[in-house]
Amino acid sequence: MQFQNPVFIPGPTNIPERLRKACDMPTIDHRSSLFGQILRPARDGVRKVLQSDIAEVFIFPSTGTGGWETALTNTLSDGQKVLATRHGMFSQRWIDMSQRLGLDVQVVNAPWSGGLPTDRYEEILAADIHHEIKAVLATHNETATGVTSDIAAVRRALDAADHPAMLLVDGVSSIASMDFRFDAWGVDVAVTSSQKGFMLPAGLAIVGFSPKAMAASRSAGLPRAFFDISSMRDSYNKNAYPYTPAFGLLNGLNESCRMLLDEGLENVFSRHRRIAEGVRAAAKAWNLDLCARSPELYSDTVTAICTPEGFNATGIVTHAADAYGVAFGVGLGEVAGRVFRIGHLGSMTDVMALSGIATAEMCMADLGLAVPLGSGVAAAQEYYRTHRPSSGV
């Protein structure tokens, strides 16, 4: 086994040396003032990454899935109605969790090649004159399909219908990599985790609550214990946790926010855009379609690439691991075997992306697809060469 190659899975992502060092800490007393020096800037940093002045940030030892549960159980009550779209594996799992928690989910089934059907949302919300829908669940970036949805348009649909439902957003594979505007989009709960845009090991669920969601938490009736934000908030007021915090990861999060903010969020977003454009140029040169059906849906953190009819896309992923020690993502759920995914988020450069594109090419050639070696690499090189950031790297 070797660990030299970067991974090209859409999380967990590559961990920069600086963050590995920040996570590797001697034990500290988490009840001492020292811990506050980690917790406070980490929460402030996350709020800035969310582009928010109002979000109250909570960080649980968990993963994005725990963040989903935090969002639901702290804002809703048994049997309450929520609106959600199933258009990929992650949106499907969040719907499944909502149902298991006892919520009444109005599910819109949409194609897995598309985004959130915001026009349909406007109709549904306008028709809900008694405001039975208490929350709209939205997956900003469907990691299974490489489809990014327009969260501002979901907010517009809510506002157009003058509907008071909360907007709960899964930003696990977008936050810290793609433009995410908590305040401007009127997000009520944003969910993410440590191992994607924040470039850390898995282990933290990171959530932001709006004042409206904080108010809803006071009457929300779903059972919650570990993920209760009110116990967390009481402890935060004393710079502490209701249990043992993962202080190494929190120190890493603090450092990660510093890295992102030092680079500048605009630069982080444009770097992801540029790298993604290169990967898409490669797919085009390979003559392969993307799962995302139109350009406004293209994700800048993960690209799901369709392989020809009758070819098992999962073979590329298995072969890349066995022959070259490189990780790509398999297709999940409905698109299993039909797509393979190149993750290009977090600690990623043009040059790293080129190595991933080159490896994918070798794998496809090895497995008999008509992909000329160098075709995708050349297309991406041309893109990167002509789109260098004006500020330098």
Ligand X SMILES: *Cc1c(COP(=O)(O)O)cnc(C)c1O
Among the listed ranges 168-176, 181-189, 280-288, 372-380, the one in contact with ligand X (CB under 6 A) is: 168-176
In the bound state, the residue with its beta carbon closest to ligand X is 64
Among the candidate windows 50-58, 125-133, 167-175, 347-355, which touches ligand X by CB under 6 A?
167-175
208 binds ligand X (CB under 6 A): no
Task: Give the binding range for ligand X (CB under 6 A) out of 14-22, 139-147, 222-230, 267-275.
Answer: 139-147
Q: Any idea what the Cα angle at residue 308 is, between residues 303 and 310, rounded to 5°?
A: 125
**Residue partners of 247: CB distance under 8 A and separation at least 6:** 25, 28, 30, 35, 38
With contacts defined by CB under 6 A, name the span among 48-56, 58-66, 177-185, 321-329 that binds ligand X: 58-66
Instruction: Tell me: does residue 139 bind ligand X (CB under 6 A).
Output: yes
**Per-residue interface string for the shown chain with ligand X, residues 74-93, x marking contact by CB under 6 A:** ----------------x---
**H helices present in 324-374, as ranges:** 350-366
By C-beta, is 94 or 383 nearer to ligand X? 94
> In the structure encoding, which two tokens stand for residue 291, read together?
């799962």
**369 phi and psi angles, rounded to 5 deg:** -80, 150
- Is residue 143 a contact residue for ligand X (CB under 6 A)? yes
Rule CB under 6 A: say whether 185 interacts with ligand X.
Answer: no
End-to-end CA distance of the chain: 31
Cα 369 to Cα 173: distance, rounded to the nearest angstrom: 30
Query: Is residue 242 packed enough to be buried (19+ CB in 10 Å), middle (13-18) or exposed (0-12)?
Result: middle
Q: How far is the CB of 64 from ligand X (least distance, A)?
A: 3
* Neighbouring C-beta atoms of residue 375, cutoff 10 Å: 16
Smallest distance, ligand X to C-beta of residue 161, A: 26
Stretch that binds ligand X, among 73-81, 112-120, 170-178, 245-253 (CB under 6 A): 170-178
- Cα separation, 300 vs 80, in Å, equals 34
For residues 305 and 339, the answer to whether their CB atoms sit within 8 Å is: yes
Residue type, 223: P
The least distance separating ligand X from the CB of residue 100, rounded to whole angstroms, comes to 15
Asked if residue 65 binds ligand X (CB under 6 A), the reply is: yes
Binding site for ligand X (CB under 6 A): 11, 63-65, 90, 139, 141, 143, 170, 172-173, 193, 202
